[in-house]
Amino acid sequence: MPDTQEAFSNEIAIGPSHRYDDRLTIRPGIVSFMNGSKIAIIGAGGVGATIAYAALLNGIAREIALYDIDADKVHAEVLDLNHGLRFTPTARVVGSDHLDICVDADVVVITAGAKQRPGETRLDLAGRNTDIFRELVPALAERAPRAVLLIVTNPVDVLTYVALQLSGFPPSRVIGSGTVLDTSRLHFVLAERCGVAVSNVHATIAGEHGDSEFALWSSAAIGNVPLDRWVTPAGTHLTGDELDDIAERVKHAAYDIIRGKGATTYAIGLAVTNIVGAILNDEHRIMPVSTLQEGEHGISDVCLSMPVVVGAGGVVRSMEVPLTGEEQRRLTASADTIRQTIRSVGF
């Protein structure tokens, strides 16, 4: 019987040009899953590690690979996750501070990046994270040439566009988590106000994942009932002021959480896992991920969120979403805001 270390070494199925530091690669003592799907998560910080945890619990991939420049951090996260494998669907969790750990991933989720410093503008943050992407994205594209790139690092719409340019991948395979999280926050608030389950709320936050985002109220519904005709438990209809207030609460939700616990982790972890699941299982699920706009609603050359169909290979198709004049105006304004930042970071 070989000792555990030898058994781990025998399992490596990566060619000599793709060697990575074995010392940092923790594997469960189970035989190969080389035919299953593989998620690579770039950045093992609060968001990256939570995505790995949620992906593990949901059993959406056979292999989860974490990469971070901080070797001790990624080693610790992978060890901790591996210690829970006894209680999750079967999977393999590996990690390294070498990018070769991402070889042949089906989905590469990028969460790596600098956080906003006190007093730092969002533009400064965009510049710093663009510099990180200039190194990371071409190296990832080389190692996982067939992957869907899923960008989470902020500002997510700007960095989705940057990743698209740097990867050379088709637009369908470079998407941002966009307003999937904001939309989920909206569903929670509306479900509470309307007295129904979260899954009965149909409404979308569109545009930028940020200050210029807005709700597509004209197509919102509770079950089969248009939102403006829904009677709340208090026996009233939601007024325009109440809807504005709900949209503002959703927009500022992240600030409230960051004030209390320093970062948002659980909901973004679940949101990203949901998107990855839609891709790996070819679910054709409608989601407001951030994608390159190519003339839809008169908008082009920018990445932002509108509902699209997500399945194998990323975006399966875009959709015609009916917009009011005001919604169209806000979408165009949101696109202009994002495009301005894209230009200012040199893309």
- Give catalytic status of residue 209 as yes or no: yes
Element (H, E) at 310: strand 308-311
Stretch that binds ligand NAD, among 3-11, 16-24, 65-73, 307-315 (CB under 6 A): 65-73
Q: How far is the CB of 110 from ligand NAD (least distance, A)?
A: 9
Per CB under 6 A, 47 contacts ligand NAD:
yes
Query: How deeply is 196 buried, as exposed, middle or buried, from its count of CB atoms within 10 A (0-12, 13-18, 19+)?
Result: middle
CA 335/CA 281 separation, integer angstroms: 31
Q: Which of residues 141-170 bind ligand NAD (CB under 6 A)?
A: 152-154, 156
Instruction: State the amino acid at position 85 in one-letter form.
Output: L
Among 28, 95, 113, 307, binds ligand NAD (CB under 6 A): 113
Own/partner pairs, 113-116, CB within 8 angstroms, 24+ separation: 113/43, 113/153, 113/154, 113/159, 115/263, 116/154
Per CB under 6 A, 208 contacts ligand NAD:
no
* From 202, 209, 237, 297, the catalytic residue: 209
- Identify which of 334, 68, 41, 336 has the alpha carbon closest to the alpha carbon of residue 178: 334
Other C-beta atoms within 10 Å of 172: how many? 18
Which residue is associated with the tokens 């790996």? Answer: 280
Among 28, 43, 207, 288, binds ligand NAD (CB under 6 A): 43
SS (H, E, C) 141-207: HHHCCCCEEEECCCCHHHHHHHHHHHHCCCHHHEEECCCHHHHHHHHHHHHHHHCCCHHHEECCEEE
Q: How far is the CB of 218 from ligand NAD (least distance, A)?
A: 24
Per CB under 6 A, 45 contacts ligand NAD:
yes
Closest CB to ligand NAD belongs to which residue?
45
Nearer to ligand NAD by Cβ, of 174 and 181: the residue is 181
Nearer to ligand NAD by Cβ, of 28 and 45: the residue is 45
- Identify which of 191, 176, 205 has the alpha carbon closest to the alpha carbon of residue 272: 176
Size of the site for ligand NAD (CB under 6 A): 27
Stretch that binds ligand NAD, among 22-30, 44-52, 184-192, 230-238 (CB under 6 A): 44-52
Catalytic positions are: 209
Residue ranges in contact with ligand NAD by CB under 6 A: 42-48, 68-70, 73, 111-113, 115, 132, 136, 152-154, 156, 177, 181, 209, 263-264, 268
